[in-house]
Amino acid sequence: MTNPPPPQDRSYRWPAEWEPHAATWLSWPHNRNSWPGRFGRVEPVYARMVRVLATSEPVHINVTDAAMERRARHYLSLAGADGEITFHYIPTNDAWCRDHGAVILKEEGPGTGDRLALDFRFNAWGGKYPYDLDDAVAPQMAETLGIPSKSADFVLEGGAIDGNGQGTLLTTEACLLNSNRNPQLSKQDIEERFRLDLGVEQIIWLGDGIAGDDTDGHIDDITRFVSEDTVVSMVEPNTADENHRPLADNIERLRDVRLTDGRKLRILELPSPPPLVYQNQRVPASYANFYIANSVVLMPGYHPSTDLLAAEVLASCFPKRDVVTIDCRDLIWGLGAFHCLTQQIPR
């Protein structure tokens, strides 16, 4: 099947994550180098994630071949996963579908519903790891969905941006202005690309990310929109912790924000879990790496006391969805959690 050409002279919008999904798209984990010494614990956690997602919406999963599909089905069966789960033979270097998957837009205007898949360039967070297969995933997703695909000659990962569906986008200077992404582009150039490619009007720039994040500071470990005018943002009250100052600085920036209609941004604080360190390496454990599906919110769990506090914040934001916490202390050794693994397909 060949996907249709991109429609011309149409206006598209990047929907918010909480808007209705047709499905969630994933890439099955297989790169043992991403979880050295812990890979055997990762697939069962991943299967539990799929089980929860499949109660909410159809799930599509990239696998390399029939052998990987059989392995995945084995773990899904052990986890009791049921529902509409479809496998696609789309090979990947790794499991982080948020960053290598297509970003799907919807056509603006009443009575319209056409979608457009954006194929941004992917370079494994500045050339840190192999990425040849991952960089080819987005157009294959579009072809499988039967929707037009548009190539964007711009290095961008899905975890580097977050939006409210109404023209405002969040990102970080640490990631997008890093010379390992688009060194030829200025901050103003990048803002213009966002406006042209994603149809947004307002770009909110935060500063640095959290310790242990090999993406150079993805926004989905720091601050996320939960409604058109509300964000949740990570805080670290311990002044001796290396995350305290960067997170406090980001909160200060958010307090100065006025949305396009003049409203102040509403800010809810998410607690930080206690530091997690494996093999003398701190990992980027963050409650901001949750994923909003149609009927559930998947939240990574790290420590009982802070898990409860974070879940209460998210439950207040999504009263019509169940907040489901899954222990991610093994999964985060790969330096990512649920939002990093998922890519929503707007309905």
pLDDT tens per residue, range 208-240: 999 999 999 999 999 999 999 999 999 999 999
- What would the two tokens of residue 253 be? 């920036």
pLDDT of amino acid 108? 80
Catalytic residue among 97, 175, 328, 340: 340
Q: How far apart are CA 231 and CA 17, in angstroms?
A: 13
- Average pLDDT, whole number, for the chain? 96
Contacts 24+ apart (CB under 8 A), 141-146: 141/25, 141/90, 141/101, 141/102, 141/117, 142/3, 142/102, 142/117, 143/1, 143/2, 143/3, 144/1, 144/60, 144/88, 144/90, 145/3, 145/115, 145/117, 145/345, 146/1, 146/3, 146/4
pTM: 0.96
pLDDT of amino acid 277? 97
SS3 93: coil
273-331 residue pLDDT tens: 999 999 999 999 999 999 999 999 999 999 999 999 999 999 999 999 999 999 999 99
pLDDT of amino acid 266? 98
Tell me whether residue 328 is one of the annotated catalytic residues.
no
pLDDT of amino acid 11? 87
- Interval 247-256 mean pLDDT: 98
Give residue 131's identity as a one-letter amino acid code. Y
4: pLDDT strictly greater than 60: no
322-343 residue pLDDT tens: 999 999 999 999 999 999 999 9
User: Of 89, 87, 97, 147, whose CA–CA distance to 117 is shortest?
Assistant: 147
68-79 residue pLDDT tens: 999 999 999 999
Residue spans of the domains in the chain: they are 12-346
Q: Which residue's entry shows tokens 């194929």?
A: 119
Domain 12-346: what homologous superfamily?
Answer: L-arginine/glycine Amidinotransferase; Chain A (3.75.10.10)
142: pLDDT strictly greater than 60: yes
- Reported as half-sphere exposure (CB side, CA atoms, 13 A), residue 280 has a value of 0
User: Of 9, 259, 24, whose CA–CA distance to 109 is shortest?
Assistant: 9
